[in-house]
Structure 1
């Protein structure tokens, strides 16, 4: 009899990189809650802002995400061990004692650490996404009891292809030559040639992630490896609570900008699939793939495309209709304008709406702030938002198809009970309900706004609506006074239109009275 997933993790010593990131936090929570008999959970964390790794982990565990663990498995939190490390340093900045400890102890490695910044400079992106993986591979080869290494990639690493299979593709270029070029080229020169290097890929993130997969297959030959490729990772669907999110990345920033009334228009194809996958799905696939790879020992590296578009698609045009209405029902505090975001396809049209809906209101609002003695900020906010939206346009204007046979096979290999605990099927996902929880999650967990403040937020939206009506009325009066009232042609046209309208109303009344 094969062990269940939870049974497989009994007594295991696990190493996780990137544990303080969004995906890493949810992975740690799921392991502690659903695999309670694991032995130790080693988290590689670098010091940051003067905080040692131990303090960073303590602060991480204090958040609401781990409430269920504290209730169901409080002893699990004592199984966490901080390992001081830095992905940018040689040998991961591990001490000799820590390295020997990991070589002796570790059974399972989850490599989640990476830079997810789309506009990261090539050298830094390569160091974080490729060089750090090479260091992890070297470390894994030294581990005496390693059973599996699970590497987290992205479904978009081969986005230069329309149909993406669950396999490792040849790299965009020879990574060794690229590494050599980085050694002698200065940063400015390398930045200039980056667009030529990435070619048809949109950014350094997808480019370096594609190289990383090939490096793993080449240098990790002989290691038990699995690769998990999630698409756009969004808020949780079910666990540990619906709608949990802790960052502004990807759709979260778009939703918040929409809810604040800042984002009035975005470039996207209404028919393109918004391939958002709830964070609990890739986390479950990561844990289940570790079990499957260690138990089944596949001859080839299993690659898992974790996406929603081919199974349960939701499109940007549908997103345009749902999200603003949700933020009108659950408004954010101190919104700049009422939520209303439209989707446009053309770059020229989008630039027009950027000027009309973002730039001009930004300058107007900053002018009012200066009059009241406050620091102007809206133009700066809109500039940042424009740059952020530009990095997303490639993904909002294109659609891909992904194979998912391996993910389906993994699901079938799980027992009925394991499929409930480590669910990977997105077919039952009801998008309107999920997006409602997502929008509420951005309000509660990212912006730390209490739901008790909803009446005040709704009252604020009503004030914004009244201001808009007043402004539109004044604008109409100004146009009438200075344009229509001074032009005979405009007056004649106005009288013709109003006369036609009143005749239509009169006709409708006569028709209703005779009937």
Structure 2
């Protein structure tokens, strides 16, 4: 088999979700480590008066792309921004752009999705399910497509304790659900959502499960693979340690703890915190496309699914997360902290509720009272309320553990050459959690808060 960089040489790659956290890291890594790639088409919608091209130009001027700029000054010439909206019919592509894509694209990475856990069901279906359906329809028209990589989540099947690397049938027929949502008003959908999602904790995991099944059913003759990352965190090594650019998922919680705002949180100390660094996920995605794309004429009967997780190989627990956060932010404090960092995880909901009142609500009310007396606008209670909403959404994941089969990930690594294993490293056995968490916490300080 060819090496991974050799496989991408001369290829045209299409990325959706390129302006998102994972999409940016994918774009940077692809251009830096597979410098022979011909063009990278990125589907981007115009936003707030900014064209797709302007948004991409802004994006590649951020810190993430500095190393690439030094190593390959002309890299931007390979990025082609394509104006598109995945929620619109025909992806809102112009005839010219559609023709260019169908004639040229060899590889697709479909990363676009809503990652808001509490997205209204109609919107979540639109962004996670229907957009995937439209992308598959476009892919079927492509004359040279070798592989379609669909990015899902390891929690798509979180209603099961053991999650194999297979596509599971969803609780409802996605076609019937789409038809029903079409005529239902928002109020009715909101009322029915808990019954529809059943054992799923939110609309995000539910619609990602539907999207996986849709991919399996509608891929037709396409060569498809699904990559399922768990909780995606800051970079481990590439392009530099600790890169993070958002408050999503654990990052916002870490920052709140570092600021001394978050003092108590419902979680099981013994539950596995299945964090996975973003560069590990991206390396696995690039390797999965290489492996399946190279096997285009000898592909497996079933869709290849990769559980990109850490818990079964190098487990890290929420109790350890607590210790690492407290140590990191006490050693390297955040500026303008509300209090000294000292977060405590509690598995008992009643104990947690008591400490929420004592260490969150009362101090926030007192601080807001002080602000009002000194002629300032109160703000802390608003911050605490927002924090509590975020924590309620995450509670399900911090209080449960799952077992993911990772045989396909192990197989994929075994197929790689020693050099590829270095360049596209996703061997999480080498990951030292205390060091990673320190660079993650410092990354929030350096790249998110500054």
Common fold by TM > 0.5: yes
Question: What is the aligned partner in structure 2 of residue 363 from structure 1?
Answer: 365
- 1:183 positional shift: 1.3
Mapped to 2, the partners of 1:339 and 1:26 lie a distance apart of 30
Mapped to 2, the partners of 1:283 and 1:230 lie a distance apart of 10
Mapped to 2, the partners of 1:348 and 1:207 lie a distance apart of 29
Question: What is the aligned partner in structure 1 of residue 244 from structure 2?
Answer: 245
Deviation per residue, 1:231-279 (Å, 9 max, x gap): 0000000000000000001111111000000000000000000000000
Question: What is the aligned partner in structure 2 of residue 324 from structure 1?
Answer: 326
Greater mean alpha carbon deviation, residues 172-181 or residues 233-242: 172-181
SS at match of 2:381: helix
Question: What is the aligned partner in structure 1 of residue 411 from structure 2?
Answer: 409
Deviation per residue, 1:351-390 (Å, 9 max, x gap): 1111111111111000000011000000010000000000
Q: Is 2:80 aligned against 1:77? A: no
Mapped to 1, the partners of 2:277 and 2:188 lie a distance apart of 39
- 1:127 positional shift: 0.4
Greater mean alpha carbon deviation, residues 170-179 or residues 104-113: 170-179
Matches within 5 A, 1:94-105: 94-105=93-104
Candidates 398, 413, 419, aligned match of 2:400: 398
Deviation per residue, 1:76-119 (Å, 9 max, x gap): 22100000001111111111110111000100000000000000
Question: What is the aligned partner in structure 2 of residue 190 from structure 1?
Answer: 189
- 1:49 positional shift: 1.3
Q: Is 2:200 aligned against 1:201? A: yes
Deviation per residue, 1:456-490 (Å, 9 max, x gap): xxxxxxxxxxxxxxxxxxxxxxxxxxxxxxxxxxx
Matches within 5 A, 1:267-278: 267-278=266-277
Deviation per residue, 1:160-183 (Å, 9 max, x gap): 000000000001211111111111
Give unpaired runs (5+ residues) of structure 2. none
Question: What is the aligned partner in structure 1 of residue 37 from structure 2?
Answer: 38
Mapped to 2, the partners of 1:7 and 1:300 lie a distance apart of 26
SS at match of 2:306: strand
SS at match of 1:74: coil
Mapped to 1, the partners of 2:45 and 2:171 lie a distance apart of 31
Q: How many residues of Structure 1 are paired with residues of Structure 2 in the alignment?
A: 447
Pick the structure with greater CA Rg: 1
Q: Is 2:146 aligned against 1:144? A: no
Mapped to 2, the partners of 1:358 and 1:18 lie a distance apart of 36
Q: Which runs of 4+ in 1 moved over 3 A?
A: none
SS at match of 1:149: strand
SS at match of 2:428: coil
Deviation per residue, 1:34-59 (Å, 9 max, x gap): 00011100000011111111111111
SS at match of 1:88: coil
Q: Is 2:30 aligned against 1:28? A: no
Greater mean alpha carbon deviation, residues 19-28 or residues 87-96: 87-96
Question: What is the aligned partner in structure 1 of residue 278 from structure 2?
Answer: 279
- 1:299 positional shift: 2.6
SS at match of 1:343: strand
Provide the TM-score with structure 1 as the length reference.
0.86
Question: What is the aligned partner in structure 1 of residue 46 from structure 2?
Answer: 47
Deviation per residue, 1:294-316 (Å, 9 max, x gap): 11233321000000100001101
Question: What is the aligned partner in structure 1 of residue 348 from structure 2?
Answer: 346
SS at match of 2:74: helix
Candidates 418, 421, 434, aligned match of 1:419: 421
Deviation per residue, 1:399-418 (Å, 9 max, x gap): 00000000000000010100
Contact 1:171 1:210 (C-alpha < 8 Å) held by counterparts: yes
Give the CA RMSD over aligned residues: 0.7
Q: Is 2:307 aligned against 1:309? A: no
Candidates 443, 446, 455, aligned match of 2:445: 443
SS at match of 2:226: strand
Question: What is the aligned partner in structure 2 of residue 494 from structure 1?
Answer: none
Q: Is 2:373 aligned against 1:374? A: no
Matches within 5 A, 1:248-267: 248-267=247-266
Provide the TM-score with structure 2 as the length reference.
0.99
Question: What is the aligned partner in structure 1 of residue 121 from structure 2?
Answer: 122
Greater mean alpha carbon deviation, residues 314-323 or residues 389-398: 314-323
Q: Is 2:90 aligned against 1:91? A: yes
Give unpaired runs (5+ residues) of structure 1. 449-515
